[in-house]
Structure 1
Amino acid sequence: MENEEKLARLTEREKVCLRHWLQHKSAKEIAADLHISHHAVEKRLKMARTKLGTTSSMAAARLLSKAEGYDQTVAQASDLTAPSRQSYSAHIWPLILGAIAMTFIAAALLLLLQSAGDEAAHPDTVLQVRQGDEQLDLVLANLISSAEIGSNGEVFLANPLSDQRYLQPQSGYYWQISAAGHQDLPSRSLWDRTLEVKGSEASLGKPLYYDSNQFPSQRLRVAQRSISLPGSDVEWKFIVARPREMPD
């Protein structure tokens, strides 16, 4: 009740000065806002302190603010203005783009770690597939270098492969040379069977590797390459196969 009586003694001009003072404005700044002299501002603040019984203008301003139900205390000086929208955008966009870039980098690292984890979990399998494909490449190269076109237009091997596994029936090691309109030239190990020929999936001169379950009792790893041979106007497909599980 005592404070209410003291506050009731304040004039409206004194209250206005206290509200401005609460915003950390100087007497000159308040004077400029109110279009009066700074001496008048200081006089009104002094009268407000006297009426409220405080030793500082800020204490008087806070009493008024509390009585009026709000606190307008400003942490920064009045000459510090809020950043413009353009300034805000100039600062926030690099942060957003940086976050996006970090997200992509993290995703790429995760994929690399997953791939490395898969290979680490099955090192023997991955190594065996690579080694097996390299062996298939060598057999393909030998077949292609030994292949010639006879007088009847059919393909034959000038130097047959020396690997005995391609002679043993149903050994899982097979080769075959095929072309549209021509008789297949198979390895003896195929016996009375033939390897399936991939169509346009194997581009000319580029090897194609794939797994095959063509023969129910044998799971095969196959390499196929399409070649144009001298003396022939057709595309010949060279196919080699090995067991998918490489022996120790």
Structure 2
Amino acid sequence: MLLDVWSRLGDFREHLVLVGGLAPRYIVRQAGESPFSAPPPHVGTVDVDLAVSLTVASLRTYQSIHSTLVETMGFEPGRGRGGRDQRHSFIKRVGVTPIVLDFLTTKYGGPENSLMREVEEHLSAIQVEGLGLALKDPLQVHVEGLLLEGGLYGAMVNVCRPGPFVVLKALALEKRGEHKDAYDLVYVLRHYKEGPESVACEIPEEERAEESFQKALSVLRARFESIGHDGPVKCGTFHHSEVNTAAQAYAAVQDFLNALR
């Protein structure tokens, strides 16, 4: 579904970056080429999370996103509590599987408790702390596959860099405590190039000084303080295909934190 959406949003691609649970397979895949060994497969997800920049594109372009998704691709607005349309989320059923496309954006200087940021009448985006890092200098990854309507398609897709991805997943783990958030961030730390040190060394000093980055480090220190803390445990109970997963998760995070010192 990523390629189906990407192929239809040509006018807007420069303002979109893939984040969320689908990103690790493309972040790490870049490092699965010589001289780095191929990593184990990431479990992935059928859902697509796209970070969107709200400061550079025209309103007309934003309006075209909604019309393309709904009128051309057959997506429907998601439904919130009470059956109200969700302007940040779109759903399309492929067979019996619902595919969810969410738009996320940076926090801005509005009300502290505001979750949504309106783009235009029919499109909003969820405000996510730390997302500004993901929008900076994304990876350019060539992705190729079959479209749902048939035919092979390939494109260069903007993908979140590993450092900002770890920040986003650490903050998500703190906020909602999902096992997959722990698994995703550890997968990237362990399998990007030569491991946690490779992720750390690519994070520039100005990003390390960001409030969201420092908050993410605090989360990692607290949630991965020992093998018995919930970060490694959540990672281990989510994914059992690797031996000693909880121990490996703990080691990966500690190596990352040490590499930043």
Q: TM-score, normalised by structure 2?
A: 0.21
Which structure would you say has the larger Rg? 1
The answer to which structure, 1 or 2, has the higher relative contact order (CA under 8 A, 6+ apart) is 2
The structure that is strand-richer by fraction is 2
Q: TM-score, normalised by structure 1?
A: 0.22
